[in-house]
Each structure stands twice: as C-alpha cells, then as structure tokens.
C-alpha cells in the first residue's frame, strides 16, 4: 500500500521498471510546494525536474505586458521540466504551483543521464511529452473556439484528474489568470455551474458535486486530452 508522500504516488515514477526505480530513489528529494511558488521562470536555467504527488503545477505563457494564460497543468500523472531532457535547457513558459502540496525533485544532470541511457526511461518520458503536447495544443484550440463555461469545465476536470480529491482551493482571480480572461467572466461562469448543482464555490474553495454533470457540460477537448494520457501512460505500480 502506498504511504503518504511516497514516490509511487506519482504515476511516472510508479511506471518505472524496478531496476530504474531503485537507481532513482537515492536521488529523489521530497519537497513541499506552496501556492504561487514559481518552479522556473521563462528563459531561466532549469536545475530540477519535479514529480508532483499531491500538488498541481500550471505551465503559463507570460506576455511582455505581464498578462498570462495557462498552456498546461501537471499533477501526479507527470512531471515538470521536460526541457531538461529534451535538450532545450530553458523554455519560454513559467511553472507556478496552482494547488499546494508535496512532490519530489530530481537534479537536471541525473534526469539527463537517465534519459540518455535510452531504454524504458527514454520511452516513458517521450510518451509523457507527447501527452503533454496534446494538452497544450488542445488548450489553444479550446481557448479559441469554445465558450468560457466549457473552458472552465475542462479546466476543473483536468485539475481534478491530477489531484486525489474532489476539492480545489482556488480564487477566481487565479482562475482568471490561468484562463487568460477577466475575473468577472469567471465569476459568471462559476455561478452558472453552481446554480446547475455541479459545483459549490465559497471563499476560494471549489467542491465538485456532480462530476458526470460537469463532464456532460464540457467540450470535446477534455475527452481528447484524457484519452491521450490514458493511451500513452498506462498506470501500474512498481513492485
């Protein structure tokens, strides 16, 4: 049985073959990640890759005027910092903790060495990268073509899929920044979902009351992303 804040709470770490997992364990450093904490900035050298276990991290693109929009969200299904092993070293996005919690980090030199060994680690990380790219692309399509109500439903469902809970602690202002819209628009969309009995929202806490109803109200984008993650990243626990 998984223990609190075990590396196996992260699906990528749990999917490692036993030999690779044992080689990684001495290098995995447990970390507590606080709401709003920046894990890396646009263009800055990345020193660690992060494996969330009970936290959510948003990848944001930030414009010159300070405006931002979320391009992807990462939780216990994945990792933060693909540029390290993909060869870029830096990225134009920013990684910010969206929901406080725990995780593990691994030094950049260690993950690069493991990736360059090829074999199962490289293939697992490449499959995850493909899934993440799918999420980024679908987010761009969703933000361009679908209503704010649908975007909010997609965002809530993707966030919940990356937590072990049906509750999110999130202000409307933060949600607005993630979606790249006005706060008033988020307020109106959240009230619609609350009146429909799908969520309860009070004092920055969102409780999902009717997940099937939320899934029925969202656009196709959520299903596209979920199916791709399920296809590319089968979940199993290392023995």
Reported as a single tens digit per residue, the pLDDT across 155-176 is 889 888 888 777 777 766 777 6
Higher pLDDT, 210 or 234: 210
- pTM value is 0.87
Which sequence spans correspond to the domains of the chain? Answer: 7-142, 147-218
Q: Do domains 7-142 and 147-218 have the same CATH topology?
A: no
Q: Is 77 helix (H, G, I), strand (E, B) or coil?
A: coil
On the 0-12 / 13-18 / 19+ scale of CB atoms within 10 A, 63 is exposed
Per CATH, the architecture of 147-218 is what? Answer: Orthogonal Bundle (1.10)
CA 59 – CA 51 distance, rounded (Å): 14
Pairing state between β 38-40 and 93-99:
antiparallel
Reported as a single tens digit per residue, the pLDDT across 99-145 is 889 999 999 999 999 999 888 999 999 999 999 999 999 988 887 88
For domain 7-142, give the CATH number.
Answer: 2.60.120.10
């Amino acid at each position: 049985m998984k223990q609190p804040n075990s590396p196996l709470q992260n699906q990528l770490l749990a999917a490692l073959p036993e030999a690779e997992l044992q080689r990684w364990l001495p290098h995995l450093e447990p970390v507590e990640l606080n709401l709003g904490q920046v894990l890396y900035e646009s263009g800055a050298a990345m020193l660690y890759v992060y494996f969330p276990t009970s936290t959510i991290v948003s990848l944001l693109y930030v414009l010159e005027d300070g405006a931002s929009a979320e391009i992807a969200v990462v939780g216990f299904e994945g990792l933060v910092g693909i540029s390290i092993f993909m060869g870029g070293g830096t990225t134009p996005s920013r990684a910010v903790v969206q929901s406080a919690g725990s995780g593990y980090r691994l030094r950049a030199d260690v993950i690069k060495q493991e990736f360059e060994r090829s074999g199962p680690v490289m293939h697992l990380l490449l499959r995850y990268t493909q899934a993440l790219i799918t999420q980024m692309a679908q987010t761009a399509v969703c933000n361009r073509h679908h209503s704010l109500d649908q975007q909010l439903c997609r965002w809530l469902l993707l966030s919940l899929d990356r937590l072990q809970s049906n509750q999110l602690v999130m202000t409307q202002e933060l949600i607005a920044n993630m979606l790249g819209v006005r706060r008033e628009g988020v307020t109106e969309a959240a009230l619609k979902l609350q009146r429909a009995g799908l969520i309860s929202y009070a004092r920055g806490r969102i409780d999902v009351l009717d997940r099937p109803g939320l899934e029925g109200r969202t656009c196709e984008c959520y299903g596209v992303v979920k199916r791709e993650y399920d296809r590319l990243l089968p979940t199993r626990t290392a023995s």
